[in-house]
């Protein structure tokens, strides 16, 4: 995991909202997620790609749908990495 990629993905409010929706509701299709946003589908696809690249979501194809799943382990690792930086400051 590249921590910069994770934080870049988390830097945009649309991507944070996607993660929040997945946390609240569980896995969702791209179409279902799109109903929560007032942005074009191509723009939303770019946001999904950033989240996938940062490994914050995993994607499973079900028929013609892409189902997005939250990957909390990457968030937990990023937080642990940040906390370890703080701990190293005291050395």
Residue 23: CATH number of its domain: 1.10.10.10
Cβ–Cβ contacts within 10 Å for residue 67, how many? 18
Q: Which domain holds residue 71?
A: 3-89
CA contacts within 13 A on the Cβ side of 50: 21
Mean pLDDT of 2-8: 88
Q: What pLDDT does 88 receive?
A: 59
Mean pLDDT of 50-61: 96
Q: What is the pLDDT of residues 11-43, one digit of tens each?
A: 999 999 999 999 999 999 999 999 999 999 999
pLDDT above 90: residue 84: no
Copy the structure tokens of residue 73. Answer: 């382990």
Determine how β-strand 65-70 pairs with β-strand 57-62: antiparallel
Which position has the higher pLDDT, 72 or 88? 72
């Amino acid at each position: 995991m590249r921590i910069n990629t994770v934080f870049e993905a988390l830097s945009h409010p649309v991507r944070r909202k996607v993660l929040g929706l997945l946390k609240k509701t569980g896995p969702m299709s791209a179409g279902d997620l799109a109903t929560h946003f007032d942005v074009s589908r191509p723009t939303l696809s770019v946001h999904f790609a950033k989240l996938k690249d940062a490994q914050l979501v995993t994607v499973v194809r079900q028929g013609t749908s892409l189902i997005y799943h939250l990957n909390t382990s990457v968030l937990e690792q990023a937080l642990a990495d940040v906390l370890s930086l703080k701990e190293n400051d005291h050395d």
